[in-house]
Structure 1
Amino acid sequence: MNDFIEKAVAAFLEDQEMKESAAYLSRGRRFETLTADQLREQWAAGYRAFATDAGRGDQEFDDLRAELRLRGLDQPLDLVQAEFAALKARITAEYEIMKAEGRTPGFEADDPVMVFLRDLIAAPEKGN
């Protein structure tokens, strides 16, 4: 992957995480009173739902991720190793089918990734 794409993806993810955390804080940080173990278990349950629903997340899972970030805790992937492996295998298989059919994976024009990348490319360079 070239350097621009790596930086763009990292910037997109960081931007999304900041927006997710700000939205969570604006809603009152409802998971603040959970213990670290409770938070980890609820995050794992949310990840399991995410992994079985073709990668579709929901606000509760986003909020759990935001609470982990705010506490400086890593996502407890150790609790969802099987689900993580199954999701990765499913995505890889779907990609291989698309490749075999001559289709290329892409995003709709209004997809947040595409909007972010368009804005990034269109923005004037700073510091020059």
Structure 2
Amino acid sequence: MRYIGEEFAFRGVIATALGRYGTQVSVVGSAVIFALAHGINLALIPAIVVGATNGLLLVRTKSVWPGVIVHAVNNGMATVVSMLFGRAAPALRPERGPRERRSARCRREGSPVRWPSGLAASRQPGRGLVS
């Protein structure tokens, strides 16, 4: 239900405040701020599109509620897609480097993992941190 608060914040407050500079500034400005608040990641472009769509809905309907519905449907679709197809498609998963592959192998095999401080953490029962 976070989307309700987000829509009231980004469309109800920010877009309305930016409205004094014109409709385009209001829609684009609130969409970009909305997207950046969601992080610089794979969701950036879709967040800009959803933010701009909801900004236009605010301008046309003079209500935040249509944007709340769009936001809820978008979040619901993202949840269903991630449940059906996993967290990310294989092409979108970050490639593991040699250090990450070694750490994953060590954790899987129960081998000690060396940390920069010279300590090793082991997953073997009865063993904690050892030098």
TM-score exceeds 0.5: no
Q: Which has a greater percent of strand?
A: 2
Q: Which has the higher contact order (CA 8 A, sep 6+)?
A: 1
In the superposition, the TM-score normalised over structure 2's length comes to: 0.28
Q: So what's the TM-score if we normalise by structure 1?
A: 0.29
| Rg larger for | 2
